[in-house]
Amino acid sequence: MTASSPPIRRLADWDHRRLERLADEHGTPLYVLDPQRVRENYQRFASAFPDAHVMYAAKAHTGRAVLSTLLDAGADIECAARGELERAIAAGADPNTLQYTAVNPPQADVEYAAELGAEHPGLTITAGARDTFNRLEAAGYDGRVAIRINPGIGTGHHEKVATGKDAKFGIPKAEVPELAAELRERFDLVGLHAHVGSGVLQDDLDDHCRAIETVADVARAVGDLEFLDIGGGFGVPYREEDDPLDVSVVGRRVREAVGDLDAQLALEPGRYVVADAELILTRVNTIKETDAATVVGVDASLATLIRPAMFDSYHPIRNVSAPDREPEPVSVGGPCCTSADVFCTDRPIARPRREDLLAIGNAGAYGYELANQFHSQPRPAEVALDDDGARVVRERETLADVTRVETGFDS
């Protein structure tokens, strides 16, 4: 990691001329990924936890370019679904290094994981329901498992990501010691796991560390563990005025919260690694002046980036074509026929004109992962920066791609 790796990359830090060239060459909307930034973010985080096992939480971005970059950087991969397991392996991950955190897994996923574990005994399967362990056993699995704990404390940027207090996730902490004793008769119990929320920043650290203390207390009660996995959830500042996490402070606070424990600490950063390593480029197509607002229409939509509609998320927006124009309050929205298709309302942006190029920042985490085909919109292309320019790492879909899986129907 070098001095060129600040703790957060703002939209103004991207090369605007390069972004203009990419939009001209590849069209819009367009995801632009910087793999070197992914590598820097991972290395910065891992350096704050030198004695820990740092895995990348694949659900934040499962693109091959991201997974390959992180595997090359020495990261292991944590997967929350069968598809993520398969994509990690296809990217070059050794199945013996993977951790699978099953949440209400479909039966086909249970059977796949059981077969994978039989062939690769280093695989670890984490489950947060007794029924999942029973299903694994019925599928013939008796390998490495970890128990996901529900500590009853949730943190993060939105109630929909405060998993630590949601009954969907994990075994209530009071039940874990008894379950651990039972599972030791049936599996190789190697760890405990907890993930209490997502988007944790400095102001959330007290609650986050309180949850970690709870989980560590359970780990001490269970004893004889290989690892305690406290998940991820470490955030980035989406708003320009917010400060980035000081991961050296986070590392110290987390170690203090865990305390004396005869087990390796494990963590699963996802958002922190990829969020600011990718942005979206989108063209202005419509300017509408009304008494209520100046509406700026763009070709990106909630099908391109659903986080603002789904989580009320803030994403920075910058006029790449003319960043020095006088800013004025505008509302930026896409072509979907719903009032939820809005990226911002009355936000000061350098006055956009038709054909201007806008950039939407911090789109690397849960951006393309949640992209969809609403309104029969093909998903955008994705390019990755390299020393020679950029290469396409995901082709732009066509309408034929959208309809390919439909079967014929004649009335």
Instruction: Write the pLDDT tens digit of every residue in 212-243.
Output: 999 999 999 999 999 999 999 999 999 999 99
Pair (259, 285) in one structural domain: no
Cα dihedral across residues 171, 175, 180, 185: positive or negative: negative
- Annotated binding residue at 269? yes
Indicate the residue among 269, 288, 305 that finishes a domain: 269
- Annotated binding residue at 237? no
User: What phi, psi does 334 have (nearest 5°)?
Assistant: -100, -170
Pair (73, 206) in one structural domain: yes
Pair (243, 167) in one structural domain: yes
Pair (174, 294) in one structural domain: no
344 is known as an active-site residue: no
Indicate the residue among 216, 236, 269 that finishes a domain: 269
Does residue 2 register a pLDDT over 60? no
What is the mean pLDDT of the segment spanning 56-71?
Answer: 98
Q: How many domains does the chain have?
A: 2
- Annotated binding residue at 271? yes
Instruction: At 358, list the tokens.
Output: 């806008």
Does residue 163 register a pLDDT over 50? no
As a whole number of angstroms, the distance between CA 384 and CA 389 comes to: 9
Residue 411's pLDDT is 65
Does residue 147 register a pLDDT over 90? yes
Catalytic residue among 209, 336, 337, 344: 337
Does residue 267 register a pLDDT over 70? yes
111 inside domain? yes
Name the residue with higher pLDDT: 293 or 347.
347
The answer to whether the beta carbons of residues 303 and 316 sit under 8 Å apart is no
Residue 161's pLDDT is 42
As a whole number of angstroms, the distance between CA 44 and CA 6 comes to: 9
60 inside domain? yes
Taking the whole predicted model, whether its pTM rises above 0.85 is answered as: yes
User: What phi, psi does 12 have (nearest 5°)?
Assistant: -65, -15
Banded model confidence at residue 111, pLDDT cuts 50, 70, 90? very high
**What is the residue-averaged pLDDT of the chain?**
94
Cross-strand partners of 19: none
279-329 pLDDT, tens digit per residue, is 999 999 999 999 988 999 999 999 999 999 999 999 999 999 999 999 999
What CATH number did the domain enclosing 207 receive?
3.20.20.10
- Annotated binding residue at 244? no
Pair (292, 391) in one structural domain: yes
User: What phi, psi does 5 have (nearest 5°)?
Assistant: -110, 80
Residue 369's pLDDT is 98
285 inside domain? yes
The β-bridge relationship of strands 264-267 and 227-229 is parallel
Angle between helix 35-48 and helix 64-72 axes, rounded to 10 deg: 50
Residue 311 domain boundaries? 276-403
Pair (311, 258) in one structural domain: no
- Annotated binding residue at 361? no
